[in-house]
Homo-oligomer: A and B are copies of this chain.
């Protein structure tokens, strides 16, 4: 199977699949004409990476996960450690985004959004903090 079909099968763009090969994440053998050849093993690896990426794992984390999957001596603990670290990162991002969101909602409510020009949003950004109390 050529890269186009592999893309179709895995849901990953062909460009991305080539990129993964470039960085040595998922490599594919070649036909005589230089075309990449995708068999079950490669498709599985690509789908594996695709799913891990959907969960937000970085490329380097995907690399580690792929290598653990290939290693029969791995332990559940090793895998779980990577997951926990990633979960921590996600939690940090969530806290950040939620704090942004609550500030934004506060500003949204403070601004009437009319044709006036005395915008509380700009005032806040300029340092005049909104006092709600």
Interface residues of A (CB under 8 A from B): 44, 47-48, 51-52, 54-56, 65, 68-69, 72-77, 79-81, 83-84, 86-87, 90-91, 93-94, 97-98, 100-101, 103-105, 107-108, 111-122, 124-127
Contacts and interface: CB of A to CB of B under 8 A. Distances in A.
A114 B55 contact: no
B111 A80 contact: yes
Contact of A121 (B83, B100, B114, B117): B83
Nearest to A72: B117
A126 to B, nearest CB: 6
The majority secondary structure among interface residues of chain A is helix
A100 B65 contact: no
Contact of A125 (B51, B87, B97, B108): B51
Nearest to A100: B56
A84 B108 contact: yes
B44 A104 contact: no
B100 A52 contact: no
Nearest to A122: B69
Contacts of A54: 100
A114 B83 contact: no
